Amino acid sequence: MKATIAFGLLGLLLLPSVPLAQVAQTQRQLEHSKLFQHYGKSGFKVTETKGGYSIDEDVPLESALPTRLTALTKMACQSDAVIVGKVASQTAVLSPDESFIFTDAEVSATEILKNNSLSELHALQTITVTRPGGALVLNGKQVKVALRHFRDFSTGGQYLLFLKFLPTTQDYQALWNRSFELKDGMVLNLTPLGLWHGQQQAHNQDALDLDGASALADARAAAASSCR
């Protein structure tokens, strides 16, 4: 079964020029932009539209949601590193063809649940985590790409992240179904879709687990488990 989740471009305005510093140009930015090039629309520039467009993305759904520990164990086994971290800063970048925006977030790892076997992480180390979507201010106007199935990070926010390692840049990629915000004693998905049994869901709101302490305990156990 699949759920179709649309994401759109919000607040797009016709802009005469784009500062070079806001377009992917460093080797790191160019490598990261390749991860998200399928989101862009050929021949279309985010900065040259008065309207917007939406893309429907098919998101696989489980016929029956697994238990929390089962879901988190699967995420951990599919991830190169699992951390709890705080978003220190974010930089939104236009793709080279200006058809999409992605964001590079600087994340301070406050706890390492699963270490990267290819590049060891250390407590309080700051890593770069890239993800699709973001907002730029160009010529005094905001240009934003919002993904409905993957809510933006908040600077200063605390997150539980199951990460994919990017060897070329030594950075990490965050994924919509493996990223969680830790807030007010709860674990909040960054998507409206429930990922394990027992999560609460409200219309057009992110699914969440009210028992954040138990969810974190399960995440630690999942990250320490042997994967087959």
Say if CB 99 and CB 46 are below 8 A apart: yes
pLDDT value of position 141: 76
Q: pLDDT at residue 16 above 70?
A: no
**Cα distance between residue 190 and residue 199, in whole Å:** 13
pLDDT value of position 12: 39
Secondary structure (3-state) at 21:
helix
Q: 152-165, pLDDT tens digit by residue?
A: 999 999 999 999 99
Residue 19 — pLDDT band, cuts 50, 70, 90?
low
**Cα distance between residue 227 and residue 206, in whole Å:** 29
CA-based R_g, the chain, Å: 18
Q: 162-182, pLDDT tens digit by residue?
A: 999 999 999 999 999 999 999
Nearest Cα neighbor of 79 from 107, 106, 127, 114 is 114
Say if CB 96 and CB 23 are below 8 A apart: yes
Q: Which residue type, as a one-letter code, is found at position 18?
A: V
Q: 114-129, pLDDT tens digit by residue?
A: 999 999 999 999 999 9
Q: Which residue type, as a one-letter code, is found at position 204?
A: N
Q: 21-78, pLDDT tens digit by residue?
A: 589 999 999 999 999 988 877 777 877 754 334 445 666 667 799 999 999 999 999 9
pLDDT value of position 87: 98
Residue 11 — pLDDT band, cuts 50, 70, 90?
very low
11: left (phi over 0), alpha (psi -120 to 50) or beta: left
Put simply, whether the predicted model's pTM sits higher than 0.85 gets the answer: yes
